[in-house]
Structure 1
C-alpha cells in the first residue's frame, strides 16, 4: 500500500468516534432539558415514596428518550426543515397550529416552574432572595441567548449536563445502595398512587418539547443527511448514556435514603446531610442547580423556534423577530420565581402535563416518517419502536388524567381533561387520515 493509499483510506473506528465526540451538540440541548429539576422531582418522589419499585420506569425512560430523539432526528435530517413547516406542507395549517399550541403550552408552563426552581436553589446557596434571582436569571437568559445564539446554549448545555452527571454519580459513593432490593424494582409494576410519578419520570425523557425542538437545533448546527451517523451517536451519548446514568444515580440515592415524599427538591438535598453526611447534601444541591440552569436555557428556545417557523421567520438570531421572541420568553420566565407553594408537586405535575401532550407529537412524527414528506420511509423496526413508544406514553397519560379526574374535576383537572380529550380526538383524526391515504394509494 502506498502513502497515497494510506492517506485516502477510510477512517478507523477510533477516528470516527473522535470525530463524533468533537461534533456532539444538538441532542445535548435536548438532554439538558430532560435532565432538569422536574425530572429530579419525579425521581425524588418515586424513590422516597415507593423505594425501588419504579426502577423499571427509570431504566425505560432512558431508552424511550433515545428512541423518541432518534425518530425526531430522522424527520429533521431527511427533510432538512423544521417540524412545523413540514407538518403545514403535509397536513395543513390547522395541524401545524395544533402542534405549536401543544408544545408552547407544555413549554410555557414548564418555564415558570423551572425558573422557580433555579431561583430557589440560587437563594439556598447564596442567601439572596429567590425573587431577586428570578429577575437576574431572566436577564442572563435574554442577554446570553439573544446575544450569542444557539452555539452559546449548546456549549453551556454540554458543560452543565456533564457537571450534573458527575455530581450525582459522585453522590452514589457516599450513599449506601441495597443492590439486591434495587433488582426487585426491575419487575414492571405501578404501585397505588404511582401513576402520576411514573408519568413524570417518563415525561422527563419523552417530552413534546424535546421531540419538536430537535429539527431546529440540528438546523442551527448546520447538520444535513450527511451527518446521520454523527447525529445518531449524539443521541446515544446524551440521552441513552448521560441521561440514563443521571436518572439512575438520583433515583438510587433517594430510594436508598429518603422516606418522605413531601420533600422539595432542595429539601431532599438538605435531608441527605444529617442522614449520610454533608458531602451528599452539597453534591445533590450542586447537581440540582446545574440541572435547573441548563434546563431553563434549553426550554427557553422551544416556543421561539416553533412560533418563528410557523410565522415564516428565521430561526436564528440573525432574524431580529426571532431574537425578539427569545428575549420575550426569557423575560416572561421571571414571574416564575414569585409563584407560591411547594415546588416538588408543581414540577411533577408539569412533566405529567407534558406527557399528556407527547403522544400527539409522537403520532405526528410517525405519520410524517411514513408519508411522502420524507424520501426514505421508516423501517419496520423503527415503526414498531415508535408505536410501542406511543402506546406506553398514551397509557401513562391516560392513567395520569384518570387520577386527576378521580380527585374531582376542578379548574386544573378540568383543563388537563379538556387538553387530553382534544389531543386524543386529533390523534384519532390523524390515524383516520393515514388509513384513508394508504387505502387510496
Structure 2
C-alpha cells in the first residue's frame, strides 16, 4: 500500500481537472432530469478518457516531451503547423482563461452554501472576498513551482471531493440494481441527446491530454515507469468517473424541477436527508472548484510554453506569466460576478473543434516509431482511438449546434 501511494502520480490531477463545477452542474442536471438512465454515458466517458490519457502519459514518459511540443516538431508543413498551434493556443489558453471564472465561482458556491460571502467594496466595484481567497490559494500553490507539493495538495483535495460526493450518494439510499441497469444498458430518453454529449464532453477534455503528457515528465523519467503511469491513470480516472456518477445518483433523489446547479442540489438535499448531506455536497463542490482553478492555469502554461518552444520549467517567468494571466482573469471575472459570455462561447467552439483534431494528432503521433519506438500503439489501441474520434466528431458538431443554434440534432 505504501509503495502504491508512493507511485500515485498525475492521475489525480487529471481527475481534478475534469471534475470541475461544469461537470458537477452537468451531472446534477442529468440526474434531476433523467434519474439513473444516463449513467452509461459516464461509463463510456471513463473508458474513452482512460484510453486517451494512457496514450498521452505514454507519450510524455517515452519522449520526455509534452504533447504540444511534439505536435509543433512533428508537423512538417509550416501552414498546418501554424494553424494547429493557433487553434491549440486559442482553445486551451484563451478557453481556460474564460472557464477559470467558472472554476473559482464553483468553489465559492460551495462555500456560500455553508456561509454568507463577505463583500469588499472599492469605489464603484464590489468584490466577492471568497473569490479572492480561492484565487490567492491557487496563486500560492502555482507560484511555488514545486510539482511534489502541488501533487500532494491536489491528491488531498481529490480524496476530499471523492468522499464528499460518494457519501452524499450513499446517504440518498439508491437502488443498486437500478444503478447497474442505468450504467450498463444504454438508453436515450426523450430530449437527452445533448445531455449525453455534455456528460461525455465534460469528461473527455482536450486540455487534459496536454496536461497529462507534461506532468508525467515531472514524476517519471524511465520507460520502466510506464506500468505505474498506467495504473495511476486507470485508478484516478475511474475514481473520477465514480464521483461524477455519485453526483448523478444524488441528483436523482431530488424530485424538484427547479434545480439548476450543484448549490441548488445541496440545498434540496437538506430537507430530505438532513443538514449533513448539504455539508458533504458543499465540501465536494468547493474541492471541485479549487482543484480546477489550479489545474486550468497550469495546463494553459504547459500548452503555451510547448507551442511556442519556451520550455516547461514551472519556475520560469515565461511559464508563470501564462498561468498568472489566466488566474487573474478568473479572479476578476468571478469576484465581480462578470460572465464573459462571448469568450466562453468562443472557447466552446474552439474546444469542440479541437477535441477530434487533437485525438487525430495524438493517434497519428502514437503510431510513429520515430517518436515512440516499440511503445507505439497496438492495433487494439488504434481501434479504440478511432471509435473515440467518431464520438469526438459528434461532440464537435453538438458544440457548434449549441452555440450557433444550427438545429443539427
* TM beyond 0.5: yes
Supply the distance in 2 between the matched residues of 1:18 and 1:138 (Cα, whole angstroms): 33
2:99 aligned with 1:101, yes or no? no
Query: In the alignment, which residue of structure 2 is the partner of 1:383?
Result: 382
- Please report how far the alpha carbon of residue 165 of structure 1 lies from its aligned counterpart in structure 2 after TM superposition: 1.0
Query: In the alignment, which residue of structure 1 is the partner of 2:7?
Result: 23
Supply the distance in 2 between the matched residues of 1:336 and 1:23 (Cα, whole angstroms): 37
- Please report how far the alpha carbon of residue 291 of structure 1 lies from its aligned counterpart in structure 2 after TM superposition: 1.4
Contact 1:199 1:355 in 2 (8 A): no
Query: In the alignment, which residue of structure 1 is the partner of 2:75?
Result: 91
Supply the distance in 2 between the matched residues of 1:350 and 1:400 (Cα, whole angstroms): 10
SS in 2 for 1:206: coil
Distance 1:351 1:118, change over 3 A: farther
Deviates more, 1:193-202 or 1:64-73: 193-202
- Please report how far the alpha carbon of residue 21 of structure 1 lies from its aligned counterpart in structure 2 after TM superposition: 2.8
Higher Rg of the two aligned structures: 1
Query: In the alignment, which residue of structure 1 is the partner of 2:221?
Result: 223
SS in 2 for 1:125: coil
Query: In the alignment, which residue of structure 1 is the partner of 2:40?
Result: 56
- Please report how far the alpha carbon of residue 187 of structure 1 lies from its aligned counterpart in structure 2 after TM superposition: 2.5
2:382 aligned with 1:393, yes or no? no
Given the alignment, which residue of 43, 61, 66 partners 2:27? Answer: 43
SS in 1 for 2:188: coil
Distance 1:189 1:347, change over 3 A: farther
Supply the distance in 1 between the matched residues of 2:170 and 2:154 (Cα, whole angstroms): 25
Query: In the alignment, which residue of structure 1 is the partner of 2:123?
Result: none
Contact 1:174 1:279 in 2 (8 A): no
Query: In the alignment, which residue of structure 1 is the partner of 2:250?
Result: 253
Query: In the alignment, which residue of structure 1 is the partner of 2:235?
Result: 237
Given the alignment, which residue of 86, 102, 110 partners 1:121? Answer: 110
Given the alignment, which residue of 277, 280, 283 partners 1:280? Answer: 277
- Please report how far the alpha carbon of residue 403 of structure 1 lies from its aligned counterpart in structure 2 after TM superposition: 4.6
Query: In the alignment, which residue of structure 2 is the partner of 1:421?
Result: none
In the alignment, structure 2 segments of 5+ residues that lack a partner are 120-127
Distance 1:189 1:402, change over 3 A: farther
Alignment of 1:133-152 (within 5 A): 133-152=130-149
Instruction: Report the RMSD for the aligned CA atoms in angstroms.
Output: 2.8
Supply the distance in 1 between the matched residues of 2:114 and 2:40 (Cα, whole angstroms): 33
Distance 1:318 1:403, change over 3 A: closer
In the alignment, structure 1 segments of 5+ residues that lack a partner are 1-16, 409-416, 418-441
